[in-house]
Amino acid sequence: MSSVSMTVNGKAVSSDVEGRTLLVDLLRGPLGLTGTHVGCDTSQCGACVVHVNGEAVKACTMFAVEADGAEVTTIEGMADGDDLHPIQEAFREHHGLQCGFCTPGMIMSAAALLKENPKPTEDEVRHYLEGNICRCTGYHNIVKAIMAASGQDVSAIAAE
């Protein structure tokens, strides 16, 4: 067992973990942050995307001990109390979710994209999301929501 300490969503946390414990398992288990989803266990679906020291990572491919001392942000840390993050609000407003399973990972990926590229094109959004799988929506409204969150006019985005 190893002791890990990190800041998760602005709160200092510590836990004893086995060396093989994945970050996603620490977040969902002992820390009770179940918004980060496990979809595939192979880093293909992106449902487990969180931010570690400001970078988007798939928490199913990172050991918890690798995050020792890190700043971790999960979907639960995006809102400010009852006020949704602008990306969350855009997903709500533009129906960028259906079943909701992929939504936390999509939002965390979108936040990373908009940090890197504040005004992405539709093609850039689609390319960036290649590591996130949605089995329900066909991505159209997800792309629209991300572009709206960037402050762009989305009325010209054609339906697929």
Query: Contact 104/79 with Cβ under 8 angstroms?
Result: no
Please name which of 44, 104, 34 lies closest in space to residue 142, comparing C-alpha atoms: 104
Q: Is 143 found in the same domain as 124? A: yes
The count of domains in the chain is: 2
Angstrom distance (rounded) from CA 75 to CA 113: 15
In a domain, 61, yes or no: yes
- Residue 123 phi/psi, 5° resolution? -65, -40
Describe the chain by its helix, strand, coil percentages, rounded to 5.
Answer: 35, 20, 50
Q: Which residue type is seen at 21?
A: T
3 state SS of 58: strand
Q: pLDDT above 70 covers what percent of the chain?
A: 98
In a domain, 160, yes or no: no
Please check the confidence at residue 150 and state whether its pLDDT lies above 90. Answer: yes
Give the pLDDT mean for 71-95: 97
CA angle at 9 for the pair 120 and 70, rounded to the nearest 5°: 90
Strands 55-58 and 49-52: antiparallel
Please check the confidence at residue 1 and state whether its pLDDT lies above 80. Answer: yes
Q: Is 105 found in the same domain as 63? A: no
Q: What is the CATH number of the domain that holds 143?
A: 1.10.150.120
